[in-house]
Structure 1
Amino acid sequence: MKTESHSINDVLAKNATSFFIPPFQRAYAWGKPEIERFFSDISRIIESELDANQQDKQEHFFGTIVIKEEKAGFANKSVIIDGQQRLTTTLLFLIALRDTETDPHKQEFITNTYLINNSSTFQDKIKLKQVTKDWEAYKALVNKSQPNPGIISNAYELLKKLINEKRSLNPKINFEHFIIAIQRMNVAVIFLDERPFKGEDPQIIFETLNSLGKPLTLSDLVRNFVLLNMESNNQSDIYEKTWYPKIEEVLQDYTSEFFRDYLQYKTASSLKVVNDSNTKELYQQFKDFVENKFTNHNEFIDDIIRYVKWYKWIINETNIDTISKNNSNDKEIKELLRNIFHDIKSEAFKPFVLGLLEYHQYSTENPRLNDELLISILKTIRTYLIRRRVLGLTQGENKNIVTLCNRINDIATGKVSMIELLTNMFYKLRLPNDSEMEAALRSMNFYEELKQYSKFILGKIEEHNTKVSVDFRDQRITIEHIMPQKLDNNWKAELGKNYEEIHKKYLHNIGNLILTEFNSEIGNKSFNEKKMQLNQSSLNYRLDIINRNVWNEQSIIEHQKNMIKWFLETFPLPDQYKDKNNWNTNTVDPDPDANVELHIFDKIIEVNSWQDVFIKFLKYVKESPNYDFDNILNNQYKLFKRDDVILKWSSLKKLIESNRDLENRYKTFDGKTCCKVKDPNDDLLFVHINISASTCISRIATITEEIFLPSDSIKIKLK
């Protein structure tokens, strides 16, 4: 390895050198902030040049570029191991400068000096070969053609705008000043020694380098691991013919998630959700698996590509591929996948269902799952999930469902059924029986507490009763309150003297709700007017309403019974499980909700679970003037070894966008999940509650020590 100092101008102006950005590199990623910072550095150099009082003109250190030299005929090919964002931005700047010039000689100077050379083996003699995703747009700009919209063309347009604005603000600035600025942008160029005994492994160097403050994704690292040690021609061939079109182009933003879920399925073990803080940890686990499992990288590529299509069926809400040759089965499988992963939004079952699809589609080594068995399994999973969601249960799923991946072969060979697996989990992962569901549905605020799932549930009930699918996802299909949200005198008379109590108790109950196609048209009309309108509905729900003469407490209770009965028929359990305790009573829950009491000094604080203990303790500290809660908020990593134990809504909602399961892993100090808080402001605090008893105690002990709270002032007692 040798390091030399050069200006970015000297690097790019080499006539006998072409630059190759290998396919393991990420596509161009600089946005407006990075480009404006780049141009600000250019501007400072120009202003220094124009300042007659400055003897030593300003220069700028532009960072590091790592190059591995290869011979390409009589010319040199510089493979860019790191620094492609800097090089690409500089070249886009030069193209923009060229295109803002009217002098053809200056335009030609830029094209011939920086953009093309006669020894280049790339198309149109272009000096820099971009990654596949950026190549067409970059090539169009070099050739003065109109590029397709995208990040490359956006950067080019922004740079043109900045150049023009700079000139308009100071007419003294000319073409030469911009070239001088490029000549004073210095880089440290690291040349890697190709001799293997020198130990300069490009892969290790790539993993070590900081990619301009933009963390490498798991997808970036895996791509690098697979391709980097190949010759550049082989890299291009495999990337452009296999890796990009068969993996990245298919999965796009889901590629990193796919690698994690593939590994979870293969190892039947739970891995962390992909984020910037744990990418390298996940990558190391992935790398170890590939090196132990496969004899070479081509074998790994062949294996993983098989799973891309199946994973696409999981992540895409609509699917035009053929899963089953039987049209009816094909339609049903696709709808079940959509229910599980888009209507219910389960993350936990992705690796498991990926495995089911392998056994259904690919039978070379495995016993095959036929259509009927796959449909039956997916229905059981859907029932398991929606029953648990009605009860607000999600805790433990992501960690434990993935372990069932090693039982798929047993399911396929008939040794065990899906229902047996799901009813043999510990209590917190139980499959709620009919009695538990009836009790919950009778008393719960179905309309508000189940906003995420209510239309799905009612749509599936309608479909079950009529055998005709209902497009419950259509915004024109809405949930209607029969007894309206505001009572007029007619409705008060309809309900009787206890109308206030009835209204409060049953307004959002499942017994007062139906699915309709014309919610806004029904509104607060009288019951008879609503019946007349419902006569025009095509949905079966209306029949249970229009046959009644009045709508009062008794009517609501009767409709409630019907709705609950239909729910249990739509998401059914086999007879032997309907009234059974559907969990393994011999297995100790690794994180049971103990019956506990929290004592702080002489005050007894009512709590219902270990997560409640932690929330109430934090709330006490926050509300007490004697303790510095902000210190806890600002030093979370030091205290808890993670920085997301307490989050503001502004941060949490961004995490939820990429992982819906987090909605149920955080609560406010009032014990509400985010979906139950109306219009939360950005500063509202949420506490991570997906914790065990030992974690709860450990966190409280750490905080106690940090704020100098006497250790004997906190007591947690089991009742």
Structure 2
Amino acid sequence: MKTESHSINDVLAKNATSFFIPPFQRAYAWGKPEIERYFSDVSRIIESHLDSKQHDKLEHFFGTVVIKEEKAGFANKSVVVDGQQRLTTTLIFLIALRDTETDPVKQDFINQNYLTNNSSSFQDKIKLKQVTKDWDAYKALVNKTQPKPGVISNAYELLKKFINEKKRLNPEVDFEHYIIAIQRMNVAVIFLDERPFKGEDPQIIFETLNSLGKPLTLSDLVRNFVLLNMESKNQSDIYEKIWHPKIEEVLFDNTSKFFRDYLQYKTVSSLKVVSDNNTKELYQQFKDFVDTEFENHSAFINDIVRYVKCYKWIITEINNDTISNDNYKDKEIKELIRNIFHDIKAEAFKPFVLGLLEYHQYTIDGVRLSDELLISTLKAIRTYLIRRRILGLTQGENKNIVLLSKKIEGIAKGNTSMLELLTNMFYRLRLPNNTEMSAALVSMNFYESLKHYSKLILGKIEEHNSKVSVDFRNPKITIEHIMPQKLDDSWKVELGEHFEEIHKNYLHNIGNIILTEFNSEIGNKSFEEKKRKLNTSSLNYRLDVIKRNVWNEQSIKEHQTNMINWFLDTFPLPDQYKDKANWNTQTVESTLFSPLDSDAGDIAEGNKPIELHIFDDIIKVNSWQDVFIKFLKFLKEKPEYDFEYILDNQLDMFRRDETILKWSSLKELIDSNVDLTSRYKTFDGKVWDKVKELSDDLLFIHINISASNCMSRIASVMEKLFLPDNSIQIKLK
């Protein structure tokens, strides 16, 4: 085995060499994100070349190519063991470049140097022989005929589009600049030894290179990117003195999330939640940001370290640091942050609050956020979130709240307020007014519908009324029903002849709920016994209960009214917002959303779809599994989409191989696990035992998925098939 450094141009332009991709290689699989990244790298090289101020022109390391060379007569055949995605993309790019040129000399230059080879034994003297699945489409592109729709043709059309756009935006960029770019894209070429005793069998090498292992996290990639361009001594010093102690040791497993939220705040844009599927995409966005915004990596390190302590305060539930020098205000700020991020778990506000804390901790352009403004802003956020959670509203927050980050300076200067910003969002992001809240609290199942927030709400009401902090997180503090969940004879008498109806209507209502420290001790006791026990309680709630002689429908309604008024006082709105329509009535919001929206999963969860829009087609749907089935059915029935590609790349797209199965395979699974019967349906929405004729090739789709998973699966297919963001949209009920 030997390794040599070459430009990808030198590898592909060898006149006496043809390339063969062996059958154990997977078919071409680069989607839109990878193609965009490829063209971005090409563009950066060209921009460096055109910049007269740059003496050392930019080059780009394009990864590794593993080759085993074989003699084929007087010519060489290079078996591509690894790196075929890079080689194929570059050749498709060169074909797209050829086809955007009108000069026959330039077209012939590409054909003769990169695409064909007189010594090639492959059809039409084509230099690179693709795997069988890609061969016809690739061959058609080389020969300037119409290729079959699929991933190869998608990549070609996208690269051609990029080249044309570049030409339109910057006419200075021409054919020669693109050739220079690929001459400056370097690869490490590993040549395998063909002698058997060397143990360099291509299949084994391929399996080793692609063996399963723990993927690098976003944090790993960013650290390597920042440090690896420095001298080794500087790398060690910076890692040991700054990076590890001031970032990784502070944030631990939250470091990747920190980088994403930092980038969202700095770019004022919504980015995908970090996952194994999108780590590389987020990393590329991070690299582009650092390269554009900072003079060097040291400047970036100095900037990012400023935010670490602020982010630590956001993610740490019990924070012992000092945020404010005023002890009372320090305690209040910490409690508000804990409410927002640990009690309510509002991920959408992390970038925004990161910015608030930056303006509170540092003076920026002469501006600093005071304790009072920070507290009032955090209170407004908490009120906004609690009011929306009571109504079950989360839609749009992840995608849109981060956009408010650009207004933080205005808040610090006193030019605007958090409430002004939150009441000027579109309807789906509205701040519910008092009328809406009262109507919801009167009728809702407070105990069961708000399990995640009920103790927080009741604890804060108690704290507001008594002016004493309540440890509502303590498991000994519990929510109790005054009218018990099971009625005995004494309670039936207490409630009167309509006891069944009252019990049904008000059991879990806020008017029948109380916070106690008795840990279920008062359970099913009579009302008189409960009053005696409540007399020993230290919580203010008891006063509204023990003053009553009877607990019946009227008592519950009176307590309900008091609770709702206390809620509105605890999570208040200024007078001008109490009964106002607190959204921007001038903004008409689309009722459709795309699976590629960053918050598509959140929008889908808890909602019911009624229409699937695919380009100009509108398809009626009644469930999320229906959306997924009909989306795939549409692609299967349209010849312009390569459905076979979806079948061949299921693990990559859906993170499981058995998402779409033939009946011959599904039958074996069902024989070993009968519970799988209802988890697969045909394109007609039928489970197997409802199908009249079962053929071995009949396809079944795995539909046991959440709404969020449905969005993730469709988004993955859209990216791989280069479907535009708004080509697929969903309308909710």
Partners in 1 of 2:539 and 2:283 — Cα distance? 51
Aligned to 1:419: 419
Aligned to 1:611: 609
Aligned to 1:711: none
CA contact 1:355–1:408 (8 Å) conserved in 2: yes
Superposed displacement of residue 443, structure 1: 0.5
Aligned to 1:75: none
Shift in alpha-carbon separation, 1:621–1:396, aligned structure 2, 3 A: closer
Structure 1 counterpart of 2:707, from 673, 681, 687: 687
Q: Which amino acid aligns with 1:586?
A: Q
Shift in alpha-carbon separation, 1:528–1:240, aligned structure 2, 3 A: same
Residues 236-287 of structure 1: CA deviation (Å, up to 9, x unaligned) = 1111111000000100000000000000000100000000000000000000
Aligned to 1:161: none
Superposed displacement of residue 293, structure 1: 0.5
Residues 561-612 of structure 1: CA deviation (Å, up to 9, x unaligned) = 000000000000010000000000000113369xxxxxxxxxxxxxx97635
Superposed displacement of residue 413, structure 1: 1.4
Superposed displacement of residue 215, structure 1: 1.4
Aligned to 1:305: 305
Aligned to 2:347: 347
Q: Which amino acid aligns with 1:584?
A: N
Does residue 397 in structure 1 map to residue 397 in structure 2?
A: yes
Structure 1 vs Structure 2: percent identity of aligned residues? 69
Alignment of 1:346-495 (within 5 A): 346-495=346-495
Partners in 2 of 1:525 and 1:234 — Cα distance? 71
Aligned to 2:510: 510
Alignment of 1:94-243 (within 5 A): 199=186, 212-243=212-243
Q: Which moved more, 1:610-619 or 1:479-488?
A: 610-619
CA contact 1:215–1:276 (8 Å) conserved in 2: yes
Residues 425-478 of structure 1: CA deviation (Å, up to 9, x unaligned) = 000000000000001000000000000000000000000001110000000000
Residues 471-503 of structure 1: CA deviation (Å, up to 9, x unaligned) = 000000000000000000000110011111100
CA contact 1:456–1:472 (8 Å) conserved in 2: yes
CA contact 1:644–1:688 (8 Å) conserved in 2: no
Shift in alpha-carbon separation, 1:502–1:339, aligned structure 2, 3 A: same
Aligned to 2:589: 589
Q: Which amino acid aligns with 2:385?
A: L
Partners in 2 of 1:513 and 1:639 — Cα distance? 50
Q: Which amino acid aligns with 2:291?
A: E
Partners in 1 of 2:535 and 2:429 — Cα distance? 43
Aligned to 2:57: none
CA contact 1:637–1:643 (8 Å) conserved in 2: no
Does residue 246 in structure 1 map to residue 246 in structure 2?
A: yes
Superposed displacement of residue 384, structure 1: 0.3
Q: Which amino acid aligns with 1:447?
A: Y
Aligned to 2:501: 501
Partners in 2 of 1:480 and 1:358 — Cα distance? 41
Residues 87-114 of structure 1: CA deviation (Å, up to 9, x unaligned) = xxxxxxxxxxxxxxxxxxxxxxxxxxxx
Shift in alpha-carbon separation, 1:568–1:482, aligned structure 2, 3 A: same
CA contact 1:611–1:690 (8 Å) conserved in 2: no
Shift in alpha-carbon separation, 1:258–1:644, aligned structure 2, 3 A: same
Superposed displacement of residue 364, structure 1: 4.3
Superposed displacement of residue 312, structure 1: 0.1
Aligned to 1:533: 533
Superposed displacement of residue 417, structure 1: 1.1
CA contact 1:448–1:508 (8 Å) conserved in 2: yes
Residues 3-61 of structure 1: CA deviation (Å, up to 9, x unaligned) = 49xxxxxxxxxxxxxxxxxxxxxxxxxxxxxxxxxxxxxxxxxxxxxxxxxxxxxxxxx
Shift in alpha-carbon separation, 1:568–1:348, aligned structure 2, 3 A: same
Shift in alpha-carbon separation, 1:545–1:65, aligned structure 2, 3 A: farther
Partners in 2 of 1:235 and 1:65 — Cα distance? 28
Superposed displacement of residue 685, structure 1: 3.8
How many matched pairs?
Answer: 458
Q: Which fold has the larger relative contact order, with Cα–Cα distance below 8 Å and residues 6 or more apart in sequence?
A: 2
Q: TM-score, normalised by structure 2?
A: 0.57
Q: Which amino acid aligns with 2:654?
A: D
Q: TM-score, normalised by structure 1?
A: 0.58
Q: Which amino acid aligns with 1:566?
A: W
Aligned to 1:643: 654
Shift in alpha-carbon separation, 1:585–1:639, aligned structure 2, 3 A: farther
Partners in 1 of 2:628 and 2:348 — Cα distance? 34
Over aligned residues, Cα RMSD in angstroms?
A: 4.0
Superposed displacement of residue 393, structure 1: 0.3
CA contact 1:355–1:405 (8 Å) conserved in 2: yes
Superposed displacement of residue 232, structure 1: 2.2
CA contact 1:611–1:689 (8 Å) conserved in 2: no
Partners in 2 of 1:690 and 1:332 — Cα distance? 41
Shift in alpha-carbon separation, 1:274–1:636, aligned structure 2, 3 A: farther
Partners in 1 of 2:648 and 2:543 — Cα distance? 58
Residues 149-207 of structure 1: CA deviation (Å, up to 9, x unaligned) = xxxxxxxxxxxxxxxxxxxxxxxxxxxxxxxxxxxxxxxxxxxxxxx9995699xxxxx
CA contact 2:424–2:582 (8 Å) conserved in 1: yes
Partners in 2 of 1:539 and 1:718 — Cα distance? 43
Superposed displacement of residue 520, structure 1: 2.2
Superposed displacement of residue 370, structure 1: 0.4
Partners in 2 of 1:392 and 1:638 — Cα distance? 37
